[in-house]
């Protein structure tokens, strides 16, 4: 196979380049920004992603860059548990790895360092592609072009590759915007290895120890799309005002966050797409199955995609067309990725309830969920099917 073109140097694009390169296939990543750096604060890598990183030889390094979490705890605003959650030992026993929390920038550094130099070309804004019997050509806004055997669209939730491949597809707004940041503050004692998410009103607030004296936090609030804050300092003030019902630690975490690290992102996802590929072009990661972050799985699913697409392209015989690999990739990955999108959307719709009685009813129901049901749901998502 000739050169493989990857549009987008995010988690999915970089992992795909790495997985292809480890199979002996050559890929070039084209990224719009002029310097690759992580957008977003921290990230949790669940065991499904860690198992793929292990196959790519990166799991130990990922672990060393972050924090192994004891468990993820879901509570009400007063800190009372809402659902039973497996602990670290159970997670390792069932899936081989614990949840690992780290800075997004550390994950990007890890992936970039593992790639051969010059794999990623920056300042390349993809505009459109053109196909013929021999290959596919990507056109960039600087007037340059690149030709390869196949083109992988890993250009995120607002994918330009998807716009050309499936122009009718529309993103769905979740009704919620998110705030994220990294506090210069370490959690102490029993909290030091536990990720906590508390559902209050009007916000949900989660925080995750990431080691090295820092804590990653996120928050969501129900609001129309497209809203803005005057500046990051006022966003932080607003969050602190909303966080009155949470404990002192939660507020201290926000207070100890440099204003500049606060990021606001409206949360969108995609409905199931009719297909992920056509001709020599295929979608991957958020471009194919953008999900709300309620399950913390968007990046993990992109990492799963990366391994499977590389594996399927590697298995192609000289006589087989790329569509054969794409169809297999879609068969293996689409049901699971879409299950994640659907479950995440469903979970998100339960978070921000308007009335106290609705929240009390929900909390009561969640507390009655049997541990066996939680286990089954984890199995669906955290186990690999390839
Ligand atoms: C609040 C929040 C919390 C989250 N937490 C988690 C978590 O804990 N765990 C987890 O697994 N996931 C999490 N996610 C989801 C995760 O961030 C995404 O699913 C993941 O980044 C998707 O990777 P990707 O490579 O598909 O897309 P992206 O990471 O968005 O990368 C796309 C890349 O394409 C580039 N690009 C875009 N357009 C073009 C163009 N025209 N030409 C060239 N390049 C282009 C972009 O600059 C970018 O670098 C979270 C998301 C949010 C919003």
Residue 190 lies in a domain: no
Residue 258 lies in a domain: no
Whole-number Å distance, alpha carbon 369 to ligand 1 midpoint, is 32
Residue 224 lies in a domain: no
Whole-number Å distance, alpha carbon 277 to ligand 1 midpoint, is 20
Specify the pLDDT at position 307.
98
Structure confidence by residue, pLDDT tens digits, 215-248? 999 999 999 999 999 999 999 999 999 999 998 9
Please state, rounded to an integer, the average pLDDT across all residues of the chain.
Answer: 95
CB neighbours (10 Å) of residue 70? 20
Distance separating alpha carbons of residues 194 and 124, to the nearest angstrom: 40
Nearest alpha-carbon partner for 192 in 101, 119, 306: 101
Do the Cβ atoms of 246 and 273 come closer than 8 Å? no
Distance separating alpha carbons of residues 81 and 260, to the nearest angstrom: 32
Q: Which of 206, 219, 299 to mutate to test the pocket of ligand 1 (most atoms within 8 A of CB)?
A: 299
pLDDT at 94 over 90: yes
Whether 20 lines ligand 1, by a CB cut-off of 6 Å, is: no
Residue closest via CA to ligand 1's atom 5 equals: 296
pLDDT > 90: percent of the chain = 90
Distance separating alpha carbons of residues 98 and 47, to the nearest angstrom: 6
Whole-number Å distance, alpha carbon 10 to ligand 1 midpoint, is 6
N- to C-terminal Cα separation, the chain: 23
Provide the edge-to-edge strand list for the sheet that holds 281-283: 120-121, 27-30, 4-7, 150-153, 281-283, 277-278
Specify the pLDDT at position 38.
65
Sign of CA dihedral 89, 90, 96, 97: negative
pLDDT at 11 over 70: yes
Residue closest via CA to ligand 1's atom 17 equals: 299
CA dihedral 352, 358, 359, 361 (to 10 degrees): -140
Residue 13 lies in a domain: yes
pLDDT at 26 over 90: yes
Specify the pLDDT at position 86.
84
Structure confidence by residue, pLDDT tens digits, 34-80? 988 766 789 999 999 999 999 999 999 999 999 999 989 999 988 99
Residue 242 lies in a domain: no
Residue 245 lies in a domain: no
Grouping H, G, I as helix, E, B as strand and the rest as coil, residue 62 is: helix
Whether 298 lines ligand 1, by a CB cut-off of 6 Å, is: yes
Whether 32 lines ligand 1, by a CB cut-off of 6 Å, is: yes
Number of domains in the chain: 1
Whether 200 lines ligand 1, by a CB cut-off of 6 Å, is: no
Whole-number Å distance, alpha carbon 245 to ligand 1 midpoint, is 32
**Domain of residue 363, residue span:** 4-172+269-382
Structure confidence by residue, pLDDT tens digits, 242-266? 999 998 999 999 999 999 999 999 9
Residue 256 lies in a domain: no
Residue 366 lies in a domain: yes
Do the Cβ atoms of 225 and 232 come closer than 8 Å? no
User: The CATH number of the domain where 78 resides is what?
Assistant: 3.50.50.60
Whole-number Å distance, alpha carbon 87 to ligand 1 midpoint, is 28
Between vectors from CA 25 to CA 297 and to CA 382, what angle results, nearest 5°?
20
Task: Output the six-digit token pair for 304.
Answer: 């799963």
Residue closest via CA to ligand 1's atom 7 equals: 296
């Amino acid at each position: 196979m000739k050169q493989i073109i990857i549009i987008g140097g995010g988690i999915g694009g970089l992992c795909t380049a790495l997985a292809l390169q480890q199979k002996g296939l050559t890929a070039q990543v084209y990224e719009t920004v002029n310097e690759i750096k992580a957008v977003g604060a921290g990230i949790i890598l669940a065991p499904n992603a860690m198992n793929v990183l292990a196959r790519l030889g990166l799991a130990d390094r990922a672990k060393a860059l972050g924090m192994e979490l004891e468990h993820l705890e879901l509570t009400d605003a007063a800190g009372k548990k809402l659902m039973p959650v497996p602990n670290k030992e159970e997670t390792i026993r069932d899936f081989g790895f614990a949840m690992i929390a780290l800075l997004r920038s550390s994950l990007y550094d890890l992936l970039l360092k593992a790639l051969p130099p010059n794999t990623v070309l920056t300042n390349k804004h993809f505009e459109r592609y053109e196909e013929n019997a021999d290959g596919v050509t990507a056109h960039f806004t600087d007037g340059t072009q690149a030709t390869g055997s196949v083109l992988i669209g890993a250009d995120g939730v607002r994918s330009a590759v998807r716009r050309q491949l499936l122009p009718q597809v529309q993103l769905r707004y979740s009704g919620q915007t998110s705030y994220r940041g990294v506090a210069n503050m370490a959690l102490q004692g029993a909290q030091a290895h536990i990720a906590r998410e508390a559902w209050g009103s009007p916000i949900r607030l989660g925080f995750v120890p990431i080691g090295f004296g820092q804590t990653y936090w996120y928050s969501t609030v129900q609001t129309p799309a497209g809203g803005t804050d005057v500046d990051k300092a006022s966003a932080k003030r607003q969050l602190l005002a909303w966080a009155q019902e949470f404990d002192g630690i939660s507020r201290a975490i926000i207070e100890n966050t440099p204003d500049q690290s606060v990021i606001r992102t409206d949360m969108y996802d995609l409905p199931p797409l009719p297909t992920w590929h056509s001709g020599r072009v295929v979608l991957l990661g958020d471009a194919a199955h953008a999900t709300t972050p309620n399950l913390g799985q968007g990046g993990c699913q992109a990492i799963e995609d990366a391994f499977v697409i590389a594996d399927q392209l590697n298995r192609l015989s000289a006589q087989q067309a790329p569509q054969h690999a794409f169809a297999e990739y879609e068969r293996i990955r689409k049901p699971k990725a879409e299950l994640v999108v659907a479950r995440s959307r469903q979970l998100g719709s339960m978070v921000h309830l308007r009335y106290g009685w609705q929240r009390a009813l929900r909390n009561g129901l969640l507390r009655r969920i049997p541990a066996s049901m939680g286990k089954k749901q984890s199995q669906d998502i955290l186990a690999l099917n390839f």
